[in-house]
Amino acid sequence: MTCGRVFALILLLTMTGCGYRPQGLEPYRAEVAPVLAIPPFANRSTEVGMETIMANAMIHAFSQTKAVRLTTNLKDAELVLEGKVAFLENSSVAFNEIQRSTVRRVTMKVDFVLKRRASDKTLWKDTVVIQEDYLVDPNYQIGETLKDRGIRRAAATLAQRVRDKVLLVI
């Protein structure tokens, strides 16, 4: 054996004793991501359709990560994220005349509970309040569209924040 081969053999033996392994010798161990279900939220606000807007925003946010696998069937889920829109309020925040609003703000309060389905154990619980501004238009249809966009932006931002918090728990 040459001096270089002896050195390489000693180096290889030393590395394996320290826990180091040449790449490819250690079997790949992928942790299986838990299965999460997000049912439609409860809606205690006067805004029609908030239950699906919030659930869809949550589903979209969690679909952006591989840390969980989503399911629509509660029976297949290990974890269940439930939510309740406690209230939704629109208020004027900017005016161009005394009685003419140009910017409105949607304020939304949502209660969340993450449970392990099998044991019904609560893993995480939180109440989140979010605000989002939107422009006002004198045309009713355009104004409602702008309001809807503001609500959906608030829901998307809220979903990203909740996703980040939930991923720290699981």
Domain assignments of the chain as residue spans, ordered by start:
31-169
Helix (H) or strand (E) holding 93: strand 79-97
For 55-68, the pLDDT digits (tens) are 999 999 999 999 99
Average pLDDT of 77-84? 95
* DSSP states along 7-57: HHHHHHHHHHHTT---TTSSPP-PPPPPEEE-PPPEE-SSSTTHHHHHHHH
> Which residues are bridge partners to 89 per DSSP?
107
Predicted local confidence at residue 96, as pLDDT: 87
β 100-116/42-43 pair status: unpaired
| pLDDT classification of 24: cutoffs 50, 70, 90 | very low
Give Cα separations from 104 to 45, 93, 140, 147 (angstroms): 18, 5, 14, 8
pLDDT of 157 > 50? The answer is: yes
Average pLDDT of 145-169? 95
Closest CA to 88 of 141, 145, 140, 158: 158
CATH of domain 31-169: 3.30.160.150
